[in-house]
A and B are shown apart, each in its own frame.
Chain A
Amino acid sequence: MIREIWFEIIKFKSQKKNYVVIVGHIVFLALCYFAFKTSKLHFLDRALASNKFDVNVFDYVDGLFFARAGLVPTFLVLMPIFICTLAGGVIAGEIEQGSLKLIASRPRSRTNIILAKIFAIYNFNLIFCIYFAVASVLIGIALYGYNPIQLVFLKQFNLGNDIALMSSPEALLRYFAFAFYCSFSLMALGSIALFFSTIFNKSTTATIAAITIYFVCFIVAQLPFATEIKPYLLSELMGKGFGVFWLPDIPWYLLAKNMGILALYICGFSSLSICHFNLRDIQ
């Protein structure tokens, strides 16, 4: 199985489309940098003007602050598109290309083929999440330096209008815990894309179907009458999870609950993918 997973990772590595997201991330960071620079951080003026905080927020603008600012859009928009493209192409893409016929006519069970792909997707996704987290921090530090104390605007994470102050190592630890949570939550979306990949014969169809599901969840979560189902929606589980890492006391129960629901998504859709792939004809 480890060899199979490694083969899948080699295949991912060889596909140029998988690196488009890195370009997207660099462009995003560059635009953030210019936006910071041109706005002269005026968006922080309001925080100062409100006189709510007895700290000078400008003193806390550093590399990690910059990295955090880009974190939510990266992990809630860029990475979901990436994971849908990656997982949506694993079966449908190989059907399109014709290589699945060669793989499936070897002495491997179809369940093993899917499992190897699931683990490879997770590994590749984790590598990208760590890469984005590290790259954002390093670029941020190169541009804005490093401050031993971090100021976190909780509003950015939908946690109210307050701020939190914490030491930089603690903020860094939370930041990377955040990236790991993100890789796990993205896997739930990845397993949905994988399921579509076993249904459709074209990778673009599978990718679009998974992205549509994600954005539909996003839209439904905004509806005023969706309060009961909101905590179980994929987009909400991903977004809410991000926020809790920045609370002074992390609500571990809520985090475990979110991860449990995400695990159900992963197991459910992976099982459906295995069942459907085992039953389908490979034309």
Chain B
Amino acid sequence: MILTCQNLSKHFGKKRAVDNVSFNIESGDILGLIGSNGAGKSTLLKMIVGLIWPSSGSVRICGYDVYQQHRQAMTNLGAIIEWPAFYDELSARTNLKILSGGHGKKYDQKLAQIAEFINIKDYLDQKVCGFSTGMKQRLGIALALLPDSKFIVLDEPTNGLDPAGIIEIRSIIREYNRQFGTSILITSHMLGEIETICSKVMIINNGKIIAAGTMSELLENETCIEIIPDKIQESIHLLQDAKEKGILPILFIGDCRDKLQIEVKAPCAAEINSLLVQNGIMVKSLRTKHKDLESFFMEKTKNKAES
């Protein structure tokens, strides 16, 4: 296990910023942490990297306790929390050296490798004050990748980037994970981005984890089937009947002109098709649509807010 958080809580006075959070990250995982502003994401990340002391609970990186064995734990971690801030009057190379604490031949080799990998080689000796937002973000990612980390935390790495920059950073992250098998914890407000990059997702709301799992576990379980039958009313009666009897895992049936939209708990497109066909209804079209992360997130956070 690369990261283990157990019963992690943080209170600021009476406010519970993070409330009894437990989760793990396995080797090679890319976990996306999503939540609205003030949900507790940054506090959770800061506790993971040892910037904030937890009120209770523990964080272990590669088996080392972040607070008791800080040095060993941090050796395995590369992190960019919030906006990467650099010393403007110094060159990118000096900034990386100061902030990473790196030195020696091995460090120089790694720097050359990373600079090549994220395409900042030609800018290393330039002052950071002249860098664009994208370049600064790239430099921040270089800083996170520089130590031989087994685990990387990236807090909104595409913040402030243009579409081309976002695509580039996204591919850097995926490629790095693929090549080196490094586990990554990433936060972003761009849910499409999380959906594209991450293998697992965790949603945090009011300091609590309200959903967690692989993308397929979370999104494929809740599927929407779109059907165009020739007899719409008969189809509704049949499906309603199957739902009530518990023959099919149907959650909701909605009709829109000549179309039926059926929300299901588990994949059952084939069963619905055969039920309609066996009852003499011709199915002109059948399409399975997975819920996207955006609607899943909205639904989860809305439900929580209502409850």
Contact = CB atoms under 8 A, between A and B. Distances in A.
Interface stretch (A76-84, A163-171, A204-212, A275-283): A275-283
Interface in B63-81: 70-75, 77, 79-81
A14 B87 contact: yes
B90 A10 contact: yes
Contact of A107 (B82, B86, B101): B101
A16 B89 contact: yes
A16 B79 CA distance: 29
B51 A107 contact: no
Contacts of A14: 87, 89-90
B167 interface: no
A108 B79 contact: no
A283 B10 CA distance: 13
A282 B46 contact: yes
Chain B CB count within 10 A is highest, among A103, A106, A107, A282, for A106
B52 A102 contact: no
Contacts of A97: 85
Contacts of A4: 101
B50 to A, nearest CB: 6
A99 B74 contact: no
Interface in A263-283: 279, 281-283
A108 B49 CA distance: 12
Contacts of B14: none
A7 interface: yes
A101 interface: yes
Interface of A, secondary structure class, is helix
Interface in A1-24: 3-4, 7, 10-11, 14-16
A281 B87 contact: no
B98 A98 contact: no
A38 interface: no
Nearest to B50: A105
A10 B80 CA distance: 22
B53 A279 contact: yes
A99 B85 contact: yes
A279 B86 CA distance: 25
B25 to A, nearest CB: 17
B245 interface: no
Nearest to A279: B53
Given A281-B51, A282-B46, A283-B52, A106 B85 contact: no
A10 B94 contact: yes
A16 B2 CA distance: 42
B202 to A, nearest CB: 20
B70 A109 contact: yes
A102 B80 contact: yes
Contacts of B77: 105
Given A279-B53, A281-B52, A105 B89 contact: no
A102 B95 CA distance: 11
Interface in B45-62: 46, 49-53
A256 interface: no
A108 B101 contact: yes
Interface string A10-44: 11001110000000000000000000000000000
A104 interface: yes
Contact of B49 (A15, A98, A105): A105
Interface string B137-166: 000000100010000000000000000000
Contact of B71 (A99, A101, A107): A107
Contacts of A109: 70-71
B106 interface: no
A236 B75 CA distance: 47
B277 interface: no
Contacts of A107: 70-75, 101, 147
Contacts of B84: 98, 102
B20 interface: no
A203 to B, nearest CB: 14
Nearest to A97: B85
A10 B53 contact: no
B105 interface: no
Nearest to A7: B98
A266 B296 CA distance: 57
A281 B11 CA distance: 12
A108 B103 CA distance: 14
Nearest to A3: B103
Contacts of A3: 101, 103
Contacts of B80: 102
Contacts of B180: none
B46 A281 contact: yes
B131 interface: no
B83 interface: yes
A278 to B, nearest CB: 10
Contacts of A102: 79-81, 84-85, 99, 143
A3 B99 CA distance: 12
10 smallest beta-carbon distances between A and B, as pairs: A98-B85, A107-B74, A14-B89, A105-B49, A282-B51, A281-B52, A7-B98, A107-B71, A99-B85, A107-B75
Interface of A: 3-4, 7, 10-11, 14-16, 97-99, 101-109, 279, 281-283
Given A105-B79, A106-B74, A281-B52, 9 more contacts: A3-B101, A99-B85, A102-B85, A103-B99, A106-B99, A106-B100, A108-B71, A109-B71, A279-B53
5 contacts: A3-B103, A11-B90, A101-B81, A102-B79, A281-B52
